[in-house]
């Protein structure tokens, strides 16, 4: 009776629950579910904010109304008529 049962190193960290499921004791060192979810949400929110700011900046630099060319109907008519005049004999 003085003999003590020793488990192999890989099994020493495991414990048996009443239901018979095997669970690792290392789960206690993992961060709480709410904590890493909060960190992930902050990172995703920051990335989306940066992307939105980049899109707004690109729109302001290249596609805003200040960068649009004014088109007149007479000028368009002249440009289209040039191609038609060359086709006529």
pLDDT at 18: 46
Q: What is residue 19's DSSP assignment?
A: T
pLDDT at 17: 46
25 near 14, Cβ under 8 Å?
yes
For the chain, list residues with pLDDT below 50.
16-19, 86
pLDDT at 37: 84
Measure the CA–CA gap between 61 and 54, rounded to whole angstroms: 10
Compute φ and ψ for 72, nearest 5 degrees: -105, 145
pLDDT at 59: 95
Residue 14, CA distances (Å) to 9, 18, 23 in order: 10, 13, 6
pLDDT at 25: 56
pLDDT at 68: 86
pLDDT at 81: 83
């Amino acid at each position: 009776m003085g003999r003590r049962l020793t488990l192999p190193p890989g099994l020493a960290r495991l414990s048996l629950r009443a239901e018979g499921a095997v669970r690792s004791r290392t789960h206690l060192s993992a961060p709480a579910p709410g904590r890493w979810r909060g960190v992930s949400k902050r990172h995703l929110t920051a990335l989306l904010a940066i992307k939105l700011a980049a899109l707004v900046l690109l729109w302001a630099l290249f596609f805003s109304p200040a960068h649009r060319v004014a088109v007149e109907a007479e000028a368009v008519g002249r440009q289209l008529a040039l191609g038609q005049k060359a086709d006529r004999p």
